[in-house]
Amino acid sequence: AQSVTQLGSHVSVSEGALVLLRCNYSSSVPPYLFWYVQYPNQGLQLLLKYTSAATLVKGINGFEAEFKKSETSFHLTKPSAHMSDAAEYFCAVTNRDDKIIFGKGTRLHILP
């Protein structure tokens, strides 16, 4: 069985500071991992995905995530936060043969 844990339902960072959103997963087979972003009253948009190629994945809007098998983690980072990054972020895992599983989400707040 697969699962995803996102640490922190709310994270606040200052504008210009590092963004770090944490995601740990559990999967009995090599996983595919995703980060999605959701702005208010909109659908989820794919930020980036890991599908067993390079372990450091670059996505849209300057975000990136690193797959660490030994730590079962797929944390999302961005070097410098922008006000427009305020949104809810979802980590997700699948193994192609099963349905995608989402974390509960982390709401990112950007402080001026």
Q: Is 20 in the site for other proteins (CB under 8 A)?
A: no
Element (H, E) at 93: strand 87-94
98 CB contacts (<8 Å, ≥6 apart)?
A: 2
Residues 56-75 binding other proteins (CB under 8 A) are none
Q: Is 100 in the site for other proteins (CB under 8 A)?
A: yes
DSSP state for residue 37 in the 8-state scheme: E
> What is the smallest separation between the CB atom of 90 and other proteins, expressed in angstroms?
7
Q: Is 84 in the site for other proteins (CB under 8 A)?
A: no
Among residues 1, 28, 43, 83, the one that binds other proteins under rule CB under 8 A: 43
Nearer to other proteins, 48 or 81 (CB): 48
DSSP track, 54-79: -SEEE-GGG-EEEEETTTTEEEEEES
DSSP track, 18-33: PEEEEEEEE-SS--EE
Q: Which residues bind other proteins (CB under 8 A)?
A: 32, 34, 36, 41-46, 49, 51, 90, 92, 94-96, 98-100, 102-105
